[in-house]
Amino acid sequence: SPTQKQWYQRRVRVNQERKLEARRRSDTVLVPTINDAVIAALKSEDSVMAHSLAYLTASLVPGDAPKDLLDSIEDIAHRADTIGSAMSFDGGLMETAMFLKGAFALSEKAGSSALSDSMAKKFANYVASNKNKSGQSNLFYTLIGLDALANNKLMVPSQLLVLENSAVLTTESPSLKLSLVDPLGNAVVGSGLFVEGGQIVFAVGEMSGADGVFEVSAESLVRGIHKVGVAATLPASYIAPDVTSVSCKVVLPVQIKDILFKLIDVDDNRVMTTSDLSEGPVVAKGDLSTRLILDFSVKDADGYSVSLHQAFVRFTNSKTGQQVYFIAQPDLNKKYNIDLNFRTAASKSFGSLAGEYSVDAILGDATLPSAMILNIATFTLDLPESSEPSTDLSKSAKPEISHIFRVPEKRPPQAISMFFTGLIFLPALVLLVVWAKLGANISNLSLSLSGVGFHAGLAAIFGIYINFFIGTNMFTTMKYLSGVAVITFLAGQRLLSSIAAQKKAK
């Protein structure tokens, strides 16, 4: 009937309310009991791992976070060692990751973080430095630490990254691409980047892009390495990155211009060959009376002279492949040159090796797309014949040197060796005979503790000396000898006193 049905529903509702009330009472009693037990356990074990597990336990218990545990987070964090821009505990990655997991879980429950921004950044730097190390355990705890840093609602360290190798700017790719990411590498949504003042390559202002990925195009490409200052805007729970600038390199091609290849006869100071390479590489010939002067300039697309880090002139022998390098030095007008007098250079640099050489200019610099090699001339070095062989200046392996040691001298027969070995023990035999003549015996040997200790100490001292002769070092010998010597001295003094007392009694 409807009346019975209503009565039954009312009874079910009353029973459910009673069960909920009983559960609430149980939780009210259980929560303080668990928190008190955790805090009491920390009094007997005060390690970083124990506190980390206590923070995790307290974060799972309903109710407010215990104040004692919250206050201890900063104290435990100060136990970490700071090396450069990283912080870690003595227990390594596992201990550091578990501390971050527990500390952020309990702080998030309390609604405020006990760690400072600088601490969070340094812990993040340490955990992130382990992500490329091998091992499943290392990977697990790295993810634990990075997850605790990235997926909390209080403080998330951010990092500024350069994307797609865009820090190298060229005429084909003049854009710099940056990204703001969290410790797990996820782009920070709702962030922004601005180019700050004092820039040469980029215009000041907001970078284009959204959701943590930004791009800015160069206004003017100026050869060199430049610092780009940036400022970030982040959501409330994120910490700004320490890096406020990035380095970018502008790479532009150059050309070798104004090449002058001049050969001068040293004897009469007469110019034999002058060429500007307008019709291609020069074909020239020289001997010991020849002086070579090579000049060239390096210019950019606008015709301005450029200074480079490296400029060489290479001579390569067409027959042997032997290479000789000379450094081209720039003058005040940024014009590179070499000056060779073959009267000295032929033997000193070329090893008196005549023949045809290919002359190349080699340029290298960080702001060049790649190293430049330009063939300048084919030069034939004519040298008089010599009875002495030319010097090998190549870097190839030299012939192996075989050395035969002197054959050891023949040893004497075994019988002679045994005879002289026996002669070594002859003095000991003579000593025993002399003792027997004098009537020496061991009848007065005392078997007391002092007597046995004294003679045992003497034997031990001789044994230490023998061991030192065999191979023990001085410090180890002195350590053992000092202990045995003290015992031997005390036992010997006691033994002599007892002998003197016995003689006096007689």
Q: Residue 315: its pLDDT value, please?
A: 93
Q: Residue 26: its pLDDT value, please?
A: 45
Q: Residue 443: its pLDDT value, please?
A: 67
Cα–Cα distance between 65 and 43 in angstroms, integer?
18
Cα–Cα distance between 180 and 11 in angstroms, integer?
59
What confidence category does residue 201 fall into, taking pLDDT thresholds of 50, 70 and 90? confident
* Arithmetic mean of pLDDT over the chain: 84
Q: Has residue 415 got a pLDDT over 50?
A: yes
User: For 123-142, how does the pLDDT look when each residue is reduced to its tens digit (9 = 90+)?
Assistant: 999 999 888 887 788 889 99
Q: Has residue 11 got a pLDDT over 80?
A: no
From residue 411, give the alpha-carbon distance in Å to each of 414, 416, 420. Answer: 9, 10, 14
493, 486 contact by CB (below 8 A) = no
Starting from the edge strand earliest in sequence, which strands make up the sheet with 159-162, in order? 159-162, 175-181, 213-217, 208-210
User: For 426-481, how does the pLDDT look when each residue is reduced to its tens digit (9 = 90+)?
Assistant: 888 888 888 888 877 666 677 788 888 888 999 999 899 888 888 888 888 898 89
Q: pTM for this one?
A: 0.59
User: For 266-305, how does the pLDDT look when each residue is reduced to its tens digit (9 = 90+)?
Assistant: 887 778 777 777 777 888 888 888 899 999 999 988 888 8
From residue 6, give the alpha-carbon distance in Å to each of 1, 15, 18, 47, 479. Answer: 9, 14, 19, 60, 96
Q: Has residue 9 got a pLDDT over 80?
A: no
Q: Which of 340, 278, 332, 283 is nearest to 314 (CA)?
A: 340
Q: Has residue 30 got a pLDDT over 50?
A: no
Q: Residue 6: its pLDDT value, please?
A: 63
What confidence category does residue 312 fall into, taking pLDDT thresholds of 50, 70 and 90? very high
239, 157 contact by CB (below 8 A) = yes
Residues composing the chain = 506
| SS3 (DSSP) at 497 | helix
Burial class of residue 460, CB neighbours in 10 A (0-12, 13-18, 19+): middle
Percent of the chain at pLDDT > 70 equals: 89
What confidence category does residue 17 fall into, taking pLDDT thresholds of 50, 70 and 90? low
Q: Residue 28: its pLDDT value, please?
A: 45
